Chains A and B, each alone.
Chain A
Amino acid sequence: MEPQPPSARREHLHQRVWQLLPWYANGSLAAPERRTVEEHLAACRACREELAVCRELARAVTGLGEVAPSPHPVQLARLLSRIDAAEERPRPLAPRLLAAPRALRRGAATHLAATPRPVRTLLAAQLAAIALLGAVLAGLGAGSRPARPTASAAPAGPPLYRTLSEPAPARPPAGVAAGAQLRLVFAEAATEGEIRRVLESVRGQIVAGPSPLGTYTVEVPRGRGADPLEVVLAHLRTRREVSFAAAVAGSEDR
């Protein structure tokens, strides 16, 4: 390759610096390139003028500021519902687990993945037992009282594959004969009394929340004697105290 004449080399350097000017203007160039640009700037009027243009543009673009509202609990609740739905897609699981209720499986799957194989077998057997117990409880509970596990009932069952170091789950141990779980956001103006009456109207109980952004997980009875979930949701959505209501995936009536 023939050596470039000095003028061609100058032109090449000029082009290179010209392209770098926006990042010289925003102060993000690394030291060697910054020096290259500065040396060229001292000798090139066109680049100095272009740098002024870049800086002006930077000021103008920054001056437009940000247009962003604060996060709204309803948006977050929608997002969490989508996550619930996404996680409903079947994952590969031990065959025996497939007999367990869905909510139970979902919670178990993540823990199982991190469990050594011999322990897994044991857990799977334990899970099957829990599922059976759940089915029995559901049968017993459905007639006389709402078939839902209360938080206080949970400790009576076997400890649910949680280590002590783990943070408490957002929802209660997805136990036995679960009621249906809903995600609710209450209107900002709703008073505690109003919220309580809304919950009473659907025999709901808060099992988690409020999240930092104000969403609640609420459990309502399901099964025989309980209103179908769509009816409960439709009712909730008519209440002005409720700004968002959706079923947590896996809680739909099947």
Chain B
Amino acid sequence: MAQLAADDELALLRRVAAQDRKAFEGLYQIYYRRLFAYLFKVTRRGELVEELVNDVMLAVWTGAARFDGRSRVSTWVFGIAYHKALKALARIAATPSAAPAAADEEPREEREPAAAVEEPESLITRRELATTLGKALGSLSPEQRAVVELTYYYELSYGEISTIVGCPVNTVKTRMFHARRRLRQLLPGLGVSSHAG
């Protein structure tokens, strides 16, 4: 089943490489929600995501011919998305007026009352940010958070993650190691139930 879907994506990407816009729209439809969710998980900034999805898809359009087929299409697309997300966050961090994106305990909505209030999805995104776990994840660096999400949410192997983030496998393991320690500090309830037995 998953293999079938992967083959479909590869076929679409090949057509995109030949400048087929119908195929591109097909790929866009397949990836829009996936990319949106993933980019939000990495950046945790709803107001960036819409534009980032388009940045990623534009890169897919221009780069499709360079896809070498050594990874899955989704791994390649997520790799592009990861790097675009980090760049966007770095740009924001470099802007003097911007508040630090990570490592602050203050709930986001108190700092950014106006951001994307009109958009219906911002309600959901803010709920995700507001939970205890959401806040804990928000305190990780984007690099660490990406590894956590790719492992636990997307259930990828460390090998695939290393391809996506463009780092050696050991770096992936180290990031996860530090993220685990941090999350454990912030979520003292984790694992408590299992200790009884």
Contact = CB atoms under 8 A, between A and B. Distances in A.
Contacts of B40: 67-68
Contacts of A23: 151, 157-158
A8 interface: no
A118 interface: no
Contact of A53 (B61, B134, B194): B194
A66 B149 CA distance: 11
Contacts of B120: 69
A26 B26 contact: no
B25 interface: yes
A64 B44 CA distance: 13
Interface stretch (B70-78, B79-87, B102-110, B173-181): B173-181
Given A22-B176, A62-B152, A67-B128, A76 B191 contact: no
B25 A212 contact: yes
Chain B interface: which size bin?
35 or more
B62 interface: yes
A19 B54 contact: no
B32 interface: yes
Contacts of A83: 58, 61
Nearest to A18: B177
B151 A22 contact: yes
Interface string B158-197: 1010000000000001001100100110010011011100
A22 B153 contact: no
Interface of A is mostly: helix
Interface string A38-50: 0000000000011
Contacts of A25: 152
Given A19-B177, A60-B133, A167-B20, A49 B128 contact: no
Contacts of B28: 71, 76, 79, 213
B97 interface: no
Contacts of B54: 75, 78-79, 82
A61 B155 contact: no
Contacts of A132: none
Contact of B57 (A30, A79, A211): A79
A22 B33 CA distance: 26
Given A71-B32, A213-B28, A64 B22 contact: no
Interface of B: 19-22, 25-26, 28-29, 32-34, 36-37, 40, 50, 53-54, 57-58, 61-62, 120-121, 124-125, 128, 131, 133-134, 137, 148-149, 151-153, 155-158, 160, 173, 176-177, 180, 183-184, 187, 190-191, 193-195
7 contacts: A22-B152, A53-B180, A56-B194, A76-B25, A79-B58, A80-B21, A211-B22
